[in-house]
Structure 1
Amino acid sequence: MTTDMGELAETAFSGLAERHRRELHVHCYRMLGSFEDAEDTVQETFLRAWRRRETFEGRSTYRAWLYRIATNACLDLLARVRPEPATGGEVRWLQPYPDLLLDELPAGAADEPETAALARETIELAYLVAVQHLAPRPRAVLILRDVLGWPAKDVGELLGDSVNSVNSALQRARAGMREHLPAERQDWTGGEEDAGTRDLVRRFTEASVATDIPALTAMLRDDVRCSMPPTPGLHIGRDTVVNDWIQDGFAEMTGLRALPTAVNRQPAVAFYHWREGEAAYLPLTLDVLRITGGAVTEIVTFHADRFAGLGLPERLPAGDAR
């Protein structure tokens, strides 16, 4: 009888926890900037919650209780693995988040225009990069207060701080975000892409497959930023970015194919390269674009090892020309 009751309790717990898995994963992803670290931290959250299930007293919602555990699990991971925040405008551990999984977030308040815009903007890569430049505790305060809308009192209880300390940390965090976010953030495109954005992505894709450097250059804003985590190096400015492409031999590449996709609520293009020995196009890189005012303002390129986690094909057959 005891075993049956224990199994029933575990089944009920798992059902409750699983309902919040995706939003907890997104929360941990904002805290950590890494899809894989977020996955591990959610698993740790559920393990801690199960072990401490007797401590849930019902003074807050079950969802809020899980968020508390998840936030502390993120802070513990950061203390072990990345006690220092990012510097220099790049995040070596940054990983993309597929839109297909973001679509699993529960509906409700997020359907309201302002809330939906907030959810979208705070998952874009530029926001993730900026927030990773904050120290862990101010980062937690910013996300809990400005993204989740928690009262300062509740954040203070979670972190063991006073309301004054929380408010002070929030001010510092917001100042840090202003320093690292793009100046034109209020003009970002987001949500449903307009016709101009779709056309620019199409032209960028076609020019990339053709390695048409002049055409690509014409689409870049003069202060465009380009990075390729985890490879170090942040390139800023049209001439710098284009020169880097030329030096890397991109202009001489042939045998490229591309698939459009979307990650972090941004347009993205997955590139494949012909491999004669495989008689197929194999994953090469994923370009995630930020577009502002009809120009490409940022390109974050990820390696082929991200394709599987994004649900992208592991190969394109010879006849699959895009």
Structure 2
Amino acid sequence: MTAQLRTAPDQDRFTAETERFRRELLAHCYRMVGSAHDAEDLVQETYLRAWRSYSRFQGRASIRSWLYRIATNVCLTALKPRPIRMLPSGLAGPYDGPDRPPNPVAPGEVSWLEPLPDAWIAPSAGDPAAMVIERESLRLALIASLQHLPARQRAVLILREVLAFSAAETAEILDTTTAAVKSGLQRARARLNELEPEPEGLLEPTDERARALLDGYIAAFERSDARLLEQVLRTDATLEATPFRDWQAGRAMCLHILDAYVLGAPGDWRMIATTANGQPAAVVYHRNDDGVLRADGVVALAATATGVSRVVKFHDPALVATFGFPHVLTR
């Protein structure tokens, strides 16, 4: 009976065995490529390839590791012709030149990192501790750093450190040796430590302190009140926004740029709280000249016990729909 099913698998059995891994595979592909939309496409390709080869799956490995082998190789193939996705802070140091509005990068010059809606990967129920680990492995700072690793080193690090596959299992997934896995992991760890030597202790987005910081940030924009922002940001806060090359370091510089070029008048901005990459976030609307509040993008905050240490704004109206919100606010 089993052999017959292996020879001619039906859709119901395939779905029952594989569908429960879809969300974690989406998170895996996102860590690899830094784009929510690309990750979604790569998961679709993973399931298409898995279905096509399901009749040849003999169960020597678990169905989970088999799917991860397919997904990882799909990602590695997709990454070969693509530039890495970055944040402005990955291009150069903070801007310290003459006062000017933020300087946008020419379209197509840089591939920008994208935020990941928590709702895309959050399980309906699960171990709270495991959910915390999952969120920590998707923080924006970590995802941005991962993109600077060579693709196979990135895969080794994610499979070993995030997903807890053994060296032997990782070697099987990547069709290499355990010695190569151990060497790749050592190099990846060293490079990651250079990029992010002291990862911050961020508050969980459900923490009351994190929500208070997000509420304060939203209120500051909606009221056009720089003094409220001063209360929210740490003295060493950084501010960056895609698709702009310039980014600011230090609360004074952040406040100057926002007050001089961004905040506008009370009512120009509307924000709705959400979560992205395991961090407090908001979808952003801006009131245009016609008086209509239209989608503007998504902002994510790095919330700590002493205030917001990092603000990353993704200026892309299409992201608002990705997070499940309308393009235009009618009230």
Instruction: Encode CA deviations 1:73-129: one digit per residue, 9 max, x unaligned.
Output: 0000111223x575953684311222222223773xxx162x333212001211111
Q: Select the residue among 95, 113, 127 that pairs with 2:114.
A: 95
Are the structure 2 counterparts of residues 121 and 197 from structure 1 closer, same or farther at C-alpha, using a change threshold of 3 Å? Answer: same
Distance 2:141 2:123 in 1: 22
| Partner residue, 1:35 | 36
| Partner residue, 2:320 | 307
Normalising by structure 2, what TM-score? Answer: 0.83
2:228 matches 1:203: no
Counterpart contact for 2:204–2:210, Cα < 8 Å: no
2:283 matches 1:283: no
- Unpaired stretches in structure 2, ≥5 consecutive residues: 1-5, 92-109
Cα RMSD, aligned residues only: 2.6
Matches within 5 A, 1:43-62: 43-62=44-63
Q: Using the TM superposition, give the Cα deviation of residue 240 of structure 1 relative to its aligned residue in structure 2, in angstroms.
A: 3.0
Are the structure 2 counterparts of residues 152 and 230 from structure 1 closer, same or farther at C-alpha, using a change threshold of 3 Å? Answer: farther
SS of alignment partner, residue 150 of structure 1: coil
| Partner residue, 1:267 | 280
Instruction: Encode CA deviations 1:20-74: one digit per residue, 9 max, x unaligned.
Output: 2211111101111100110111111112212222331201111210110000000
Q: Tell me the number of residue pairs that the alignment of Structure 1 and Structure 2 aligns.
A: 306
Distance 2:293 2:86 in 1: 35
Q: After the TM superposition, which of the residue ranges 304-313 and 246-255 deviates more from structure 2?
A: 246-255
Counterpart contact for 1:85–1:135, Cα < 8 Å: no
Are the structure 2 counterparts of residues 28 and 105 from structure 1 closer, same or farther at C-alpha, using a change threshold of 3 Å? Answer: farther
Are the structure 2 counterparts of residues 276 and 237 from structure 1 closer, same or farther at C-alpha, using a change threshold of 3 Å? Answer: closer
The code of the aligned residue for 1:304 comes to P
SS of alignment partner, residue 245 of structure 2: strand
Matches within 5 A, 1:99-178: 99-104=118-123, 107=126, 111=127, 113=129, 115-178=130-193
Q: Using the TM superposition, give the Cα deviation of residue 154 of structure 1 relative to its aligned residue in structure 2, in angstroms.
A: 1.3
The code of the aligned residue for 2:319 comes to R
Distance 1:181 1:60 in 2: 34
Counterpart contact for 2:86–2:113, Cα < 8 Å: no
Q: After the TM superposition, which of the residue ranges 19-28 and 254-263 deviates more from structure 2?
A: 254-263
| Partner residue, 2:230 | 217
Distance 2:25 2:198 in 1: 29
Counterpart contact for 1:220–1:295, Cα < 8 Å: yes
Distance 1:182 1:210 in 2: 37
Distance 1:221 1:30 in 2: 28
Distance 1:106 1:159 in 2: 31
Instruction: Encode CA deviations 1:226-257: one digit per residue, 9 max, x unaligned.
Output: 22234434432223323332453434575322
Counterpart contact for 1:272–1:281, Cα < 8 Å: yes
- Unpaired stretches in structure 1, ≥5 consecutive residues: none
Instruction: Encode CA deviations 1:133-190: one digit per residue, 9 max, x unaligned.
Output: 21111100011001110000111122232212211211221222222237252x2212
Normalising by structure 1, what TM-score? Answer: 0.85
Distance 1:275 1:255 in 2: 8
Instruction: Encode CA deviations 1:183-238: one digit per residue, 9 max, x unaligned.
Output: 252x22125212x3222222221111122123313422232222223443443222
